[in-house]
Structure formats: C-alpha cells, structure tokens
Amino acid sequence: MTWTEQSKESLSKQWLNPLLVLDYKNEIIGVYRNSKQCERESEFGFSSLGIRQALNKIHKTHKGFRFKKISIELYKEYIGEE
C-alpha cells in the first residue's frame, strides 16, 4: 500500500498532541495539532523528529524555536473550537 497525501492527513488528524511554537522572545509563532502538521504547514522547515526531540527535552530548541506541549482544551481555545 502506498501512502497518499490524503491518507497521511487523515491519519494525522487522529493523533492530537497539541503544541505551541515559541520564538526567542517567548512569543507564540504557531499552534499545531501535532508535530507532523507543524512539519507540513510551517514556513520554517521544521522536521517532525526535531520537534519531538525539543518537546521531550532531548534538545532545548529546533532551528532556534522552542516547542511546548499544551492541553487539548487550550488547543481548542487557540484555534476557536468549542
């Protein structure tokens, strides 16, 4: 079976591990549902592995940005869902 972009996206939507992307001033750059969405949709060229390493404190940053896990409720508040 080959993975199409549509099947990758539908699988990604099942995994909700929300995160914030913070710059060096601690300002929020983005809010994402998981590391794969962040990798695909950000303009900074993040890698999913680098994001997860920063989230799990293996590295402090990835490409100069910090990543912080947030609750599902806070994620929904940021994106405007109820």
pLDDT tens-digit series, residues 25-82: 999 999 999 999 999 998 999 999 999 999 999 999 999 999 999 999 999 999 887 6
Q: What is the pLDDT of residue 13?
A: 62
Residue 23's pLDDT is what? 96
User: CA nearest 68: which of 37, 40, 32, 42?
Assistant: 32
Residue 61's identity, in one-letter code, is T
Apex CA 26: angle with CA 23 and CA 27, to 5°? 75
Per-residue model confidence (pLDDT) at position 62: 96
Has domain 5-79 been given CATH number 1.10.10.10? Answer: yes
Distance, in Å, from the CA atom of 80 to the CA atom of 82, rounded to the nearest integer, reads 7
**What is the rounded radius of gyration, in angstroms, for the C-alpha atoms of the chain?**
13
Please tell me the predicted confidence (pLDDT) of residue 9: 66
What's the confidence (pLDDT) of residue 30? 94
